[in-house]
């Protein structure tokens, strides 16, 4: 960062220098800019493997969670007509919360109701379960649909909402 600032100051000084001094300053600024570019490329090369490893771990965890959800379902379950509440009960709302919702609803995003803070959730819970589900599925105010994780099923989103609300004073 300091090198970049120095390069900018050198470029500004060009207007006040003689032609020869201008050339020397330009060459020095170009060399500093090249050093900054090389340092940035090196930083990217250093960080990229860690990012790839983290992404791989997230994919592995998601696959494991999907497998556990799939394994938890009966092998020969017969399709039945059930209310929407029953289907969301099969999904582990806490697991969905931990994987997809905790980043915002764990207290890091201003305005997002924090799980466990009943005062944050009371006005939302008063609106009812269906409204909470609708807002989570379709998005509301600054929260995107499905919290930005469009790979979640509707039942997973509903289960996570029920979990968060129940941890914050609801009886869903």
- Helix, strand, coil percentages in the chain from 3-state DSSP, rounded to 5: 70, 0, 25
Q: Three-class SS of residue 21? A: helix
The per-type count for the chain, helices as H runs and strands as E runs, is 8, 0
Q: Three-class SS of residue 10? A: helix
What is the predicted pLDDT for the residue at 82?
45
What is the predicted pLDDT for the residue at 81?
46
CB neighbour burial string for 75-96, b if at least 16 within 10 angstroms, e if fewer: eeeeeeeeeeeeebbebbbbbb
Instruction: Report which of 73, 122, 132, 66 is spatially closest to residue 96, judged by C-alpha positions.
Output: 66
What's the number of CA atoms in the CB half-sphere (13 Å) around residue 111? 4
- CATH, range 93-167: 1.10.760.10
Instruction: Determine the Cα–Cα distance for residues 34 and 13; give it in Å rounded to an integer.
Output: 19
What is the predicted pLDDT for the residue at 157?
94
Instruction: Determine the Cα–Cα distance for residues 42 and 48; give it in Å rounded to an integer.
Output: 10
Q: Which residues in the chain come in under a pLDDT of 70?
A: 1-26, 28-29, 32-33, 35-37, 39-48, 50-89
What is the predicted pLDDT for the residue at 27?
72
pTM for this prediction? 0.50
Instruction: Determine the Cα–Cα distance for residues 10 and 1; give it in Å rounded to an integer.
Output: 14
DSSP state letters, 67-107:
HHHHHHS-TTPPP----HHHHHHTS-HHHHIIIIIHHHHTT
What is the predicted pLDDT for the residue at 90?
84
């Amino acid at each position: 960062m300091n090198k970049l600032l120095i390069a900018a100051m050198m470029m500004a000084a060009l207007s006040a220098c003689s032609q020869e001094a201008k050339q020397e300053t330009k060459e020095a600024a170009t060399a500093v800019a090249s050093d900054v570019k090389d340092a940035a490329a090196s930083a990217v090369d250093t960080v990229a493997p860690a990012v790839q490893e983290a992404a791989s771990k997230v994919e592995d965890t998601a696959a494991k969670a999907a497998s556990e959800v799939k394994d938890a379902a009966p092998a020969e379950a017969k399709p039945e007509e059930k209310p929407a509440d029953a289907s969301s009960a099969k999904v582990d709302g806490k697991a969905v919360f931990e994987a997809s919702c905790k980043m915002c609803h764990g207290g890091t995003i201003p305005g997002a109701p924090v799980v466990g803070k009943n005062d944050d959730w009371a006005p939302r819970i008063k609106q009812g379960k269906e409204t909470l589900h609708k807002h989570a599925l379709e998005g509301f105010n600054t929260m995107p649909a499905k919290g930005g994780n469009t790979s979640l099923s509707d039942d997973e989103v509903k289960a996570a909402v029920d979990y968060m609300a129940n941890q914050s004073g609801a009886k869903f």
